[in-house]
Amino acid sequence: MKKSLIQSFYEKHHLTGNRLNQSFLEKERGSLFSKWIGKNKTVLDLGGRDGTLSKYYCSNNKVTIGDIDEKALSIAKDNFDLETQIINLNEKLPFPDNSFDCVVMAEVLEHLPYPLITLGEIKRVLKNDGQFIGNLPLAYHLKDRIQILRGRKLMISGDPTHLQFLSYQDVIKLLSVFFEIKKIEVLKGGKKKSAIFPGLFARNIAFICSINQLNI
């Protein structure tokens, strides 16, 4: 089957800048997500690429990585005990309702042109008592505001595939459409300062959510 333009693009993108076989704050996020997920769960890892982060929680759980990068998925399949599925996150997820105990989406939300489509699909494939876990970089913190005042464009980490520039409050508002936020943990930006002024100092946050039962 001929690959789509978006598939070919992301395969090339992931090969640039040593994006495969490494992950932002890998050990910190791997440990945190593993603790939040627990054991003996069915887990869907969206945008998990080559399994660099998934390896921290796949040994005690049944993990499926969904990604558009077929080459990265083949690496994950060869190296770790998990399943893989080619997925376009802008379309309906190829899984039945209430399929997973946990959905992980790490460093992905900022890449989505239509995040509400994907978040709605995540809610659909999660079990009613399931958990949605992930993290993402924030925009409009103090450093970004200084950059804007200096006349520079926002480009998180210099990555042109970032389509969403979300502030701390933007993330809360977006997640709350479908989920109840149980906890937010600051990964970058200074935990003491971010605890008091998250909108000014938090630069990357992890979150764990449950389904908003009022919207079921």
More confident residue, 214 or 91: 91
Rounded to 10°, the helix 115-125/168-175 angle is 50
Q: Which two tokens stand for residue 38?
A: 């627990």
Q: Cβ-count burial of 138 within 10 angstroms (0-12 exposed, 13-18 middle, 19+ buried)?
A: buried
Please give the Cα distance from 216 to 210 (Å, whole number).
12
What pairing do the DSSP bridges indicate for beta strands 100-106 and 126-137? parallel
pLDDT band at 55 (very low <50, low <70, confident <90, very high): very high
Number of folded domains that form the chain? 1
pLDDT band at 96 (very low <50, low <70, confident <90, very high): very high
pLDDT, residue 21, reads: 62
What pairing do the DSSP bridges indicate for beta strands 179-188 and 83-86? unpaired
pLDDT band at 7 (very low <50, low <70, confident <90, very high): confident
pLDDT, residue 140, reads: 83
pLDDT in tens, 170-186: 999 999 999 999 999 99
pLDDT in tens, 74-84: 999 999 999 99
Expressed as residue numbers, the domain containing 148 is 5-215
SS3 sequence of 99-129: CEEEEEEECCHHHCCCHHHHHHHHHHHEEEE
CATH code (residue 25): 3.40.50.150
